[in-house]
Structure 1
């Protein structure tokens, strides 16, 4: 981990305290926060004063202290404004609207294809979806406190992240001029916070899922692509170039299947959705569970496995065992106390993949490392990526980073908010 300045430590303490308020799901006192975080009462008092001034927290009454002055009770100020989280994937764009308590209010979804994989086209889809949500809710743009957008690919510190690198077989920056960020800033009047889905999902788990009690966390995303989000001591690990987590493109089978990245034998080529379809096809090219669309094939596998279909169960056992080998390497290297399987493939097939993967990992992981692991399927409610990137936008608001303040006048809308 990089050396931390006093400013970094202060920011992390503020986020830690804020996450505790969110996870408590009830009003809390400063004394409770001091006990939960281990911070001094003076530090907690300073941080809560800052969050009250920002409008993120609000006092909601007092409680008896058992002697002395009554203690103020603090809660998230959900009505203070709204946040938007957007998940841009290779086949869809999804936008979710949240109140400041990160409760989902509305969402929009749009399918996209390879012809849409350009920064200006993707930006137009995002703007259209968000405007539609605001119009339905009769919200004005001044209610928007922050917008976070997850884009596939590696994060570029200055301009955001690459667009669709796996689909193109390249890892160069897809948007080096930052056109995507600029277009959204023009549309919404504030800089968006950009991240990739690995890290966004990890933040969602830290705030609302299996990572809340974890110290060292690995969030394995199983979808069309595969990767891992890492948190060390409850802090998101980014790596030297913000590119940590490309576990899906580590070598699993020398000389094996060709991966979408152009290399062979990658983890993703065996446990991502295309890899699962390939395993099914290798067993029987005419299997009726096979469909032209990989999502439909995964759904068919889940449905058949739910009926105890031996063909489907055999495929999932094979994929799960392979996943277990890859996870054993992860456990040996990272030594996490919690491993969470998430994303859409894990949602549909995780009940079969996780036990098989756990058994496979037990054969290959070092016993001491393995014994420390709490294995979980994601318990985050709603769409983890958009929730996580909205939480990052909230962190940006609190820290004074992107999304913290309007950059220029927002595009006007005819919508209004009734009070």
Structure 2
């Protein structure tokens, strides 16, 4: 049994309350929040008072339904500050600046020089991109979440391993701290996408879910009771490196037959090359190849690639259902954006065949409904959680409210 401290419970309740505020999009009240979160009206009232005091929430006025006292409507305060989300992928750095209502204020994507991928060079690129995008609003930044590929140790801010650039044990947050003046939070795409779904997507209503990230790399984020499952070394969810075919294709991790080698973007491009080595759909960039396959899905070779990839996805997801028994599986990111519906159409009957009956009947399979880059959104959400959990944010408020007459 997991035992939480009073502070952890307070943070969890604060997160739950604010998630409900975001879900309501400015159309909720204290009474509705108490009903939605299951917290007592007194607890909700106290937390809302704190969030109003520090400017995280704002009151939009009162509803007037003619029954009882008008209820104050609450929303996140977009003017309270800015949050930065950084998605570092294999070939690009994507940066978004959000206000506290989680609306994108500014966005940019810059290429990564393939000859400048050592940690200091990537740190320089991220810092320069963030600094340029934030501009004169640096004092308004409440925190920045930075996502790098591969397993990450978030407490120490260490990139344990990067499959793209062969990093091992890199203290990357420390490098960024030397270059950026903000509170920084380091994690990986699997965790970021899952946090984004918990706050702004499927996790608003379902707290036990799996988020499948399909891009150049492949993996899952797992949430149980609204909390990320991290594992002892924060590597829970490396489903992309489970063996799908013994002695199969070589994966970028150095092993053979991994799930990622068949359903990640490079794996899909590999399948196209196997089926038609001279296909005009093939590009040096795997994601461009995936986009071309999606655009040409009425062609025989594209259909064959989708069918084979969908079959691999179906078997891998069936094993995932048997292992985790989630309520919902959400498929997201670039490959899902291009081919999600087509792949799921092939995968569903295979999942039904290979998954155990009760877990399969209980699970919902769906594409992500997030309208924005889930990784950069999740990165900014890590910064939001850090700000909400910071004792400096709420300490003076709690002390002031505890004084007699206050």
Q: Shorter-chain-normalised TM-score: which range?
A: over 0.9
RMSD: 2.1
- Flag the 1:33–1:265 CA change in 2: closer, same or farther, 3 A: same
Q: Does 1:167 align with 2:164?
A: yes
Whole-Å Cα distance in 2 between the matches of residues 361 and 256 of structure 1? 21
Q: 1:198-219: CA deviations, max 9, x gaps?
A: 0100111112222222131111
Are 1:147 and 2:144 an aligned pair? yes
Q: Aligned pairs, how many?
A: 395
- 1:9-33 deviations in whole A, cap 9, x for unaligned? 2211110110010011123211000
- Tell me, yes or no, if the aligned pair for 1:202 and 1:219 is still in contact at 8 Å: yes
When structure 1 is superposed on structure 2, of 322-331 and 276-285 the one drifting more is 276-285
Residue in 2 that maps onto 1:31: 31
Distance 1:280 1:403, change over 3 A: farther
Residue 190 of structure 1 corresponds to: 182
Report what 1:328 is aligned to.
318
Q: CA deviation at 1:241?
A: 1.6
| Alignment match, 2:337 | 347
SS in 1 for 2:164: helix
1:27-76 C-alpha deviation (Å, 9 max, x unpaired): 32110000001111111112112211221101222234866644322111
CA 1:51–1:186: 2 relative to 1, 3 Å: farther
If asked which structure has higher relative contact order (CA below 8 Å, sep 6+), I would say: 1
Q: In the alignment, which residue of structure 1 is the partner of 2:239?
A: 247
Greater Cα offset, 233-242 or 110-119: 110-119
Taking structure 1 as reference, are residues 108 and 53 closer, same or farther at Cα in structure 2, changes over 3 Å only? Answer: same
Deviates more, 1:350-359 or 1:389-398: 350-359
Is the aligned partner of 1:389 residue 2:379?
A: yes
Q: 1:66/1:38 Cα in 2 relative to 1: closer, same or farther (>3 Å)?
A: farther
Decide whether the 8 Å contact of 2:262 with 2:271 is kept in 1: yes
Distance 1:319 1:33, change over 3 A: same
Structure 1 distance, partners of 2:294, 2:348, is 19
**1:318 matched residue in structure 2:** 308
Give the match's secondary structure for 2:202: coil
* TM-score normalised by structure 2 residue count: 0.92
**1:415 alignment partner in structure 2:** none
Unaligned runs of 5+ in 1: 406-419
The alignment partner of 1:116 has SS state of coil
Distance (Å, rounded) in 2 between the aligned partners of 1:217 and 1:8: 21
Where has structure 1 moved over 6 Å in runs of 4 or more? 401-405
Residues 93-172 of structure 1 correspond to what in structure 2 (within 5 A)? 93-135=93-135, 139-162=136-159, 165-168=162-165, 172=168
- TM-score, reference length from structure 1: 0.89
